[in-house]
């Protein structure tokens, strides 16, 4: 049975399905239980599945990831919510030193198969502490997988895959598009997910594989790599520029779908990478390096990065900071016009 869902409903449905299928799945975090989470992603789960399956934790991110490690070692599959990705840093030691390395350092005796969900990204006037995109802090850590969906269908299928994965998954949710796709034109009316084909979501169990990018638009002139909210900004920019661009939604940023990237860039010879995170040492830098290692002799233009500026996320300058469609279109234009 299909239903029309926004991102929140799709994520909720994924946890609902997994709580029902697997008694070893537990869902917890700050305000996650009775209230259902500040973004309502766990709404109704406690009522339906019971107090012990979906509950509130103390406000101690290091503590709640720490207990998830112990639960994972016991054999459970915790799905934990960090209320905002901006608040994941108190847990960074547990994630980097423990979660990511348990399997390796114990030679496979102990593992921590957990899913760490966190709303991330800007576009909501959240200021410095509700807008960050810290994905590169996790792609840099050996042993973690990092997943970022861009629509309801993928969100549910990827979250189920993450919960079933035997390795820890950092699952970053672009909060700006929880309720509807956002093309970056903040001055225009928002269209709800219901008008988007990816809001058609199976009500039951299904998966979207981790590690596979999606080609959202085939094209010949330039490859665009994006994920999360930026996928929608990029599609708008392509539409408006009239260019024949190929758009890849990475969906899993680590381990990234290298074959899909290489095939596309070798075909187009040009590449623009778009993310909200700050530019320097951002994930775009890794993508740029991978592409030049593998596609150098196919490139006809410098690889461009469109990213957040290297400043903290400023409250009043949301739209100057946010890499919107105009900045993306300008980069596309430069890349397509470049001649060696």
The residue ranges that bind another protein (CB under 8 A) are 26, 52, 57-58, 60, 62-64, 66-76, 90, 93-94, 97-98, 102-111, 142-143, 145, 166-167, 211, 255, 258
**In sequence order, what are the beta bridge partners of 217?**
247
φ/ψ region of 143 (left if φ > 0, alpha if ψ in -120 to 50, else beta) reads left
Report in angstroms how near the CB of residue 69 gets to another protein at its nearest. Answer: 4
Tokens, residue 203: 């009500």
* Beta carbon nearer to another protein, 94 or 150: 94
**Toward another protein, which CB reaches closer, 73 or 124?**
73
Which residues is 78 bridged to in the sheet? 26
Compute CA 206 distance to the chain's CA centroid, rounded to the nearest angstrom: 19
Active-site annotation, residues: 130
In angstroms, what is the minimal distance from the CB of 98 to another protein?
A: 5
Give 35 or 104: the residue with its C-beta nearer to another protein: 104
What lies within 8 Å, CB to CB, of 225 at 6+ separation is: 248, 250, 261, 271, 272, 273, 274, 287
CB of 105 to another protein, least distance (A): 6
Residue 200 CB, shortest distance to another protein, in Å, is 31
Comparing CB distances to another protein, the nearer of 66 and 312 is 66
As given in the structure block, the two tokens for residue 304 are 């461009």
Q: Which is nearer to another protein, 112 or 234 (CB)?
A: 112
Query: Contacts by 237-244 with C-beta closer than 8 Å and gap 24+?
Result: 237/184, 237/325, 237/326, 237/328, 237/329, 237/332, 238/332, 240/325, 240/329, 241/329, 241/332, 241/333, 243/219, 243/332, 243/333, 243/336, 244/219, 244/220
Tokens of 166: 């035997």
CB of 92 to another protein, least distance (A): 12
């Amino acid at each position: 049975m299909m239903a029309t869902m926004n991102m929140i409903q799709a994520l909720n449905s994924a946890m609902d399905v997994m709580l029902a299928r697997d008694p070893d799945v537990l869902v917890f975090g700050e305000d996650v239980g009775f209230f259902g989470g500040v973004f309502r992603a766990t709404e109704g789960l406690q009522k339906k599945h019971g107090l012990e399956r979906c509950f509130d934790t103390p406000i101690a991110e290091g503590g709640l990831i720490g207990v998830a490690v112990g639960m994972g070692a016991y054999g459970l599959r915790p799905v934990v919510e960090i209320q905002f990705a901006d608040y994941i840093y108190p847990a960074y030691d547990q994630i980097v030193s423990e979660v990511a390395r348990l399997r390796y350092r114990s030679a496979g005796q102990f593992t921590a198969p957990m899913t760490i969900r966190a709303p991330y990204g800007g576009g909501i006037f959240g200021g410095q502490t509700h807008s960050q995109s810290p994905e590169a802090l996790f792609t840099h850590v050996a042993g973690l997988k990092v997943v970022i969906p861009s629509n309801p269908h993928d969100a549910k299928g990827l979250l189920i895959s993450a919960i079933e994965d035997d390795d820890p998954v950092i699952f970053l949710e672009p909060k700006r598009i929880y309720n509807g796709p956002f093309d970056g034109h903040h001055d225009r009316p928002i269209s709800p997910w219901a008008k988007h084909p990816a809001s058609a979501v199976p009500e039951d169990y299904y998966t979207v594989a981790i590690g596979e990018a999606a080609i959202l638009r085939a094209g010949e002139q330039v490859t665009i790599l994006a994920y999360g909210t930026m996928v929608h900004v990029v599609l708008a920019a392509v539409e408006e520029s009239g260019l024949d661009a190929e758009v890849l939604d990475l969906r899993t940023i680590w381990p990234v779908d290298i074959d899909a990237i290489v095939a596309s860039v070798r075909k187009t010879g040009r590449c623009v990478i778009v993310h909200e995170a700050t530019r320097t040492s951002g994930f775009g830098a890794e993508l740029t390096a991978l592409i030049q290692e593998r596609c150098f002799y196919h490139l006809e233009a410098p690889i461009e990065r469109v990213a957040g500026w290297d400043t903290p996320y400023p409250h009043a300058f949301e739209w100057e900071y946010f890499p919107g469609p105009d900045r993306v279109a300008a980069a596309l234009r430069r890349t397509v016009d470049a001649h060696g």
